Amino acid sequence: MSNDNKATIHFAENDFFIGVTPSGHAQTIETNSERASAATPMELVLLALGSCTGVDVISILRKSHRSERRAARRVSAQLHAALRQAHRPRPRRL
Protein backbone atom coordinates (compact mmCIF):
# COMPACT_ATOMS: atom_id res chain seq x y z
CA MET A 1 0.00 0.00 0.00
CA SER A 2 1.27 3.44 -0.92
CA ASN A 3 1.85 6.20 1.62
CA ASP A 4 0.66 8.67 -1.03
CA ASN A 5 -2.97 9.45 -0.09
CA LYS A 6 -4.03 10.59 -3.55
CA ALA A 7 -6.75 8.98 -5.63
CA THR A 8 -6.58 9.21 -9.42
CA ILE A 9 -9.60 9.63 -11.68
CA HIS A 10 -9.36 8.82 -15.40
CA PHE A 11 -12.04 9.70 -17.95
CA ALA A 12 -12.84 6.50 -19.84
CA GLU A 13 -15.31 7.86 -22.45
CA ASN A 14 -19.08 7.29 -22.71
CA ASP A 15 -19.82 8.87 -19.28
CA PHE A 16 -17.50 6.50 -17.39
CA PHE A 17 -14.58 7.26 -15.14
CA ILE A 18 -12.07 4.89 -13.60
CA GLY A 19 -11.04 5.76 -10.07
CA VAL A 20 -7.83 4.31 -8.66
CA THR A 21 -7.38 4.36 -4.89
CA PRO A 22 -4.06 5.11 -3.18
CA SER A 23 -3.76 1.35 -2.53
CA GLY A 24 -4.12 0.59 -6.25
CA HIS A 25 -7.72 -0.69 -6.39
CA ALA A 26 -9.67 0.40 -9.48
CA GLN A 27 -13.37 1.29 -9.44
CA THR A 28 -15.57 2.01 -12.44
CA ILE A 29 -17.70 5.12 -11.90
CA GLU A 30 -20.89 5.76 -13.87
CA THR A 31 -22.12 9.30 -14.50
CA ASN A 32 -25.18 8.31 -16.54
CA SER A 33 -27.64 7.30 -13.79
CA GLU A 34 -30.20 6.05 -16.32
CA ARG A 35 -27.83 3.34 -17.58
CA ALA A 36 -26.89 2.16 -14.05
CA SER A 37 -24.03 -0.11 -15.14
CA ALA A 38 -21.66 0.96 -12.34
CA ALA A 39 -21.81 2.90 -9.09
CA THR A 40 -22.44 6.64 -9.34
CA PRO A 41 -20.33 9.15 -7.40
CA MET A 42 -23.21 9.67 -4.92
CA GLU A 43 -23.49 5.92 -4.35
CA LEU A 44 -19.77 5.73 -3.63
CA VAL A 45 -20.03 8.61 -1.15
CA LEU A 46 -22.89 6.80 0.60
CA LEU A 47 -20.87 3.59 0.72
CA ALA A 48 -17.92 5.44 2.19
CA LEU A 49 -20.13 7.12 4.79
CA GLY A 50 -21.86 3.87 5.67
CA SER A 51 -18.64 1.88 5.94
CA CYS A 52 -16.90 4.49 8.09
CA THR A 53 -19.94 4.66 10.37
CA GLY A 54 -20.20 0.87 10.40
CA VAL A 55 -16.59 0.45 11.51
CA ASP A 56 -17.24 2.71 14.50
CA VAL A 57 -20.54 1.01 15.38
CA ILE A 58 -19.07 -2.51 15.16
CA SER A 59 -16.11 -1.47 17.30
CA ILE A 60 -18.44 -0.09 19.99
CA LEU A 61 -20.68 -3.19 19.87
CA ARG A 62 -17.70 -5.53 20.19
CA LYS A 63 -16.44 -3.64 23.21
CA SER A 64 -19.88 -3.90 24.84
CA HIS A 65 -20.29 -7.60 23.78
CA ARG A 66 -23.46 -6.96 21.74
CA SER A 67 -24.66 -8.49 18.48
CA GLU A 68 -23.04 -7.09 15.33
CA ARG A 69 -25.63 -8.44 12.87
CA ARG A 70 -28.41 -6.11 14.01
CA ALA A 71 -26.23 -3.01 13.58
CA ALA A 72 -25.29 -3.98 10.03
CA ARG A 73 -28.97 -4.06 9.08
CA ARG A 74 -29.55 -0.62 10.57
CA VAL A 75 -26.69 0.94 8.65
CA SER A 76 -27.94 -0.74 5.46
CA ALA A 77 -31.46 0.61 5.94
CA GLN A 78 -30.13 4.11 6.56
CA LEU A 79 -28.06 4.00 3.37
CA HIS A 80 -31.04 2.94 1.27
CA ALA A 81 -33.14 5.78 2.72
CA ALA A 82 -30.36 8.30 2.06
CA LEU A 83 -29.93 7.06 -1.51
CA ARG A 84 -33.66 7.40 -2.24
CA GLN A 85 -33.63 10.92 -0.79
CA ALA A 86 -30.55 11.90 -2.83
CA HIS A 87 -32.18 10.85 -6.13
CA ARG A 88 -35.54 12.47 -5.44
CA PRO A 89 -36.28 15.23 -7.99
CA ARG A 90 -36.13 18.66 -6.41
CA PRO A 91 -38.45 21.49 -7.47
CA ARG A 92 -36.82 24.30 -9.40
CA ARG A 93 -37.37 27.95 -8.72
CA LEU A 94 -38.40 29.95 -11.74
Q: What does the pLDDT look like over 10-54, one tens digit per residue?
A: 999 898 999 999 999 999 999 887 888 999 888 888 788 878 887
Look over the chain and give the mean of its residue pLDDT values, rounded to a whole number: 79
Confidence of residue 90 (pLDDT cuts 50, 70, 90): low
On the 0-12 / 13-18 / 19+ scale of CB atoms within 10 A, 12 is: exposed
pTM of the model: 0.63
Helix (H, G, I), strand (E, B) or coil at 84: helix
Q: What is the mean pLDDT of residues 60-83?
A: 68
C-alpha torsion 36→26→43→29, nearest 10: -40
